[in-house]
A and B are shown apart, each in its own frame.
Chain A
Amino acid sequence: MAETVSNGIEQSTTAEPGFSLKNRLIGIARVSPTMAAGVLIVVAFGFMALFAEFLMPHDPVSAYHDRVLQPPSAEHWFGTDGNGMDVFSRVIYGAKFGFGIAIPAVLLAIVIGVPVGLIAGYRGGFLDEVLMRFFDGLRVFPSIILALAVVAATGQSLLNVVLVLGFLDSPVFARLVRSEVLALRSSVFVESAKAAGNPTWRILFIHLLPNAVQGAMAQTAVRAAWAVRISATLAFLGVGIQAPTPEWGAMIRQGAEFMVTGQWWVALFPGIALILLVFGLNLFGDGLQDLTDPRRRAAK
């Protein structure tokens, strides 16, 4: 890695001659082809979410009353739904909800879970016991039922869905960080930091945190897939996001009733989009774990 030292001396480097992005990408694709596939899918959906306004041929929520439940055609690639809205445009717009819920929910889960795991793992004892039992308690309930109950009770808004998902998923990050910290807290470099005179907060956040979060970071994509799936499920059950908002779960719910009458396209296309994004995120997450865990990498 060529770098210039602040005092201006150019550093002679021994590291990788001829680094190129192309070779790095080929290298990653070779170590983890599934990850490459996952990245492609996720990037494609991300592109859809960011540039939905330019990609949608129609307004996703304007109803063409004369074109209700039309099958796929040149004008409406994925057909129209019961309100006469363009399904193709709605599927594209739905990507915004997928990412818009998953990213803040995962960030919230990290913000809650990582410090809790850090402190519980380092302090141990009673505090650890209380925090972890509480989190165990959270995980005993099927998350979908808990999410349903909480969202239904706190009010039907997008923000509430994000908050509930983030909170419900925080134990995953807390557990991962805690187990890393448990292994690291008796390691020599932590003892060496203590011997040098580091106060506890520095040991936690300067010494332990950067070494303990790698496993948790590798989980983010998989947890994002979970958040996408659960938020769609909530919408499908009619909690949180309501039709005619172009959210995939809500669209599938709306389309489900037309399945029996033969208008399959209303539910099928948002369903495929949902499956693809969840699949892509999972592949990506799996690859991240392959790359960050040397044991898994060696087995490949």
Chain B
Amino acid sequence: MSLLEVENLRTHFISRDIDNQIRVAKALNDVSFRLEAGKVLGFVGETGAGKSLTAQSICGLLRPPARIVGGSVLFDGQDLIEMPQEELNALRGDQIAMVVQNPRTSLDPLTRIGDQLVRIHQAHTGGPVTASRGRALDMMQAVGIPDPANRSNAWPHELSGGMAQRVLIAMALMNNPKLLIADEPTTGLDVTVQAQILDLMKGLTERFGMAMIIITHDLGIVAHYSDEIAVMFAGTIVESGPVREVFAKPDHPYTRSLIASTPEKLQIGGGAKLGGQPPDLYNLPSGCPLRTRCTFAEDVCATPPTRKQIGGGHYSVCHFSGALPEGGGPQ
């Protein structure tokens, strides 16, 4: 059994507009993936593809008008969707921890960082406060915060962006989570600091045996810091598999275009890219959501493609899986 098994997860935004019409944005459509303990899974895709929404759906952090309308999320054998809210709250911050973008806005501005770490440990694990304090100092040490005893008295506004992200990671680690979800953990940080944070997180997963989900738009991060990759487009995982395999033999036209768009592969003046507008989630095209942008699209693409296995653990959702010319992108 995998640590996390997500099957056919569907999340929609259901709202009424100013004309009193019900509008449904199909933001996640049959998202399925598995994550083994101790592994790192990288989610990539463009803005609005549903990367962060997948994480929020798993953690029960959706707010109206977003609503899970189908599927299951099994974490350690428990169904998180069926779970009562209080139990899920207890699980979150304990066995499942999150690190988000803009670390400074995620810290309580009126509490010293040491106390915030103690607070989250007390809320979930309990025990004597002195034990929590000790653990807080250990975790600050583990994430490379110099002089933890002194720094634990610092206020959030006194921290630099990189330091605040370290505090947030320390906070995520306080209760020894089995799963760490990092949503754009280094966006907004400088490249030289990004390297520090990513090295740190990767090292911690190995040291504590955590599984990790990294959500990012940067293929370079996924290429070097994750074991598996899931490529999202319009609320669907269009391709997934072991990182090396997917980068070496990308199957789905969308994955190919993403890889072709990276600075390393990009040919300036190389002709039309698979660009265009992201599809309107309120009004998705029938069948394959990519077909309006895809140069390989044919009539059959108006029917929904199925998920096909094309290698060990390597899946692609395309009518032409395995049949498209090798290496040829939509360039």
- Distance in angstroms between the alpha carbons of A20 and B21 in the assembled complex: 11
Q: Which residue of B lies closest to A291 (CB)?
A: B18
Asked if A209 lies at the interface with its beta carbon under 8 angstroms from chain B, I say no
On chain A, the residues within 8 Å of B16 by CB distance are 27, 30
Beta-carbon contact of A27 and B280 below 8 Å: no
A14-31 at interface with B (beta carbon < 8 Å): 14, 16, 18-20, 23-24, 26-28, 30-31
- Distance in angstroms between the alpha carbons of A125 and B95 in the assembled complex: 55
- Distance in angstroms between the alpha carbons of A18 and B19 in the assembled complex: 10
Beta-carbon contact of B20 and A30 below 8 Å: yes
Asked if B17 lies at the interface with its beta carbon under 8 angstroms from chain A, I say yes
Contact residues of B: prevailing secondary structure: loop
On chain A, the residues within 8 Å of B280 by CB distance are 14
Minimum Cβ distance to chain A for residue B23 (Å): 10
B248-287 at interface with A (beta carbon < 8 Å): 280, 283
Minimum Cβ distance to chain B for residue A56 (Å): 38
Interface flags, A108-149, vs B, CB<8A=1, else 0: 000000000000000000000000000000000000000000
Contact residues of A: prevailing secondary structure: helix
Interface flags, A281-292, vs B, CB<8A=1, else 0: 000000000000
- Distance in angstroms between the alpha carbons of A231 and B283 in the assembled complex: 53
Minimum Cβ distance to chain A for residue B254 (Å): 23
- Distance in angstroms between the alpha carbons of A28 and B20 in the assembled complex: 8
On chain A, the residues within 8 Å of B18 by CB distance are 24, 27-28, 31
Q: Which residue of B lies closest to A21 (CB)?
A: B19
On chain B, the residues within 8 Å of A31 by CB distance are 18
On chain B, the residues within 8 Å of A24 by CB distance are 18-20
Interface flags, B8-36, vs A, CB<8A=1, else 0: 00000000111111000000000000000
- Distance in angstroms between the alpha carbons of A26 and B18 in the assembled complex: 8
On chain B, the residues within 8 Å of A18 by CB distance are 21
On chain A, the residues within 8 Å of B19 by CB distance are 16, 19-20, 23-24, 26-27
Minimum Cβ distance to chain B for residue A289 (Å): 16
Minimum Cβ distance to chain A for residue B107 (Å): 23
Minimum Cβ distance to chain B for residue A26 (Å): 4
- Distance in angstroms between the alpha carbons of A215 and B20 in the assembled complex: 25
On chain B, the residues within 8 Å of A23 by CB distance are 19-21
- Distance in angstroms between the alpha carbons of A31 and B20 in the assembled complex: 9
Minimum Cβ distance to chain B for residue A298 (Å): 10
Minimum Cβ distance to chain A for residue B329 (Å): 29
Minimum Cβ distance to chain B for residue A35 (Å): 12
- Distance in angstroms between the alpha carbons of A283 and B19 in the assembled complex: 21
Q: For B16, B19, B280, which residue has the most chain A Cβ atoms within 10 angstroms? A: B19
On chain B, the residues within 8 Å of A20 by CB distance are 19
- Distance in angstroms between the alpha carbons of A166 and B16 in the assembled complex: 40
A246-287 at interface with B (beta carbon < 8 Å): none
- Distance in angstroms between the alpha carbons of A290 and B211 in the assembled complex: 45
- Distance in angstroms between the alpha carbons of A26 and B22 in the assembled complex: 13
On chain B, the residues within 8 Å of A26 by CB distance are 19-20
On chain A, the residues within 8 Å of B283 by CB distance are 14
- Distance in angstroms between the alpha carbons of A265 and B19 in the assembled complex: 44
Q: Which residue of B lies closest to A18 (CB)?
A: B21
B276-323 at interface with A (beta carbon < 8 Å): 280, 283
On chain A, the residues within 8 Å of B20 by CB distance are 23-24, 26-27, 30
Q: Which residue of B lies closest to A17 (CB)?
A: B21
Minimum Cβ distance to chain A for residue B223 (Å): 33
- Distance in angstroms between the alpha carbons of A194 and B21 in the assembled complex: 41
- Distance in angstroms between the alpha carbons of A23 and B22 in the assembled complex: 11
Q: Which residue of B lies closest to A19 (CB)?
A: B19
On chain A, the residues within 8 Å of B17 by CB distance are 16, 27
Minimum Cβ distance to chain A for residue B62 (Å): 16
Minimum Cβ distance to chain A for residue B265 (Å): 31
Minimum Cβ distance to chain B for residue A22 (Å): 9
On chain B, the residues within 8 Å of A30 by CB distance are 16, 20
Q: Which residue of A lies closest to B283 (CB)?
A: A14
- Distance in angstroms between the alpha carbons of A19 and B280 in the assembled complex: 19
- Distance in angstroms between the alpha carbons of A297 and B62 in the assembled complex: 19
- Distance in angstroms between the alpha carbons of A31 and B283 in the assembled complex: 24
Q: Which residue of B lies closest to A24 (CB)?
A: B19
On chain B, the residues within 8 Å of A27 by CB distance are 16-21
- Distance in angstroms between the alpha carbons of A28 and B18 in the assembled complex: 6
On chain B, the residues within 8 Å of A19 by CB distance are 19
- Distance in angstroms between the alpha carbons of A26 and B21 in the assembled complex: 10
- Distance in angstroms between the alpha carbons of A33 and B246 in the assembled complex: 54
- Distance in angstroms between the alpha carbons of A159 and B192 in the assembled complex: 69
- Distance in angstroms between the alpha carbons of A118 and B19 in the assembled complex: 34
Known A20-B19, A27-B20; further 11 A-B contacts with Cβ < 8 A: A14-B280, A14-B283, A16-B17, A16-B19, A24-B18, A24-B19, A27-B16, A27-B17, A27-B21, A28-B18, A30-B16
A-B contact pairs, 21 of them (CB 8 A): A14-B280, A14-B283, A16-B17, A16-B19, A16-B21, A18-B21, A19-B19, A23-B19, A23-B21, A24-B18, A24-B19, A24-B20, A26-B19, A27-B16, A27-B17, A27-B18, A27-B20, A27-B21, A28-B18, A30-B16, A31-B18
Task: State the 9 A-B residue pairs at the shortest beta-carbon distance, nearest first.
Answer: A27-B20, A26-B20, A23-B19, A27-B18, A27-B19, A23-B20, A24-B19, A16-B19, A30-B20
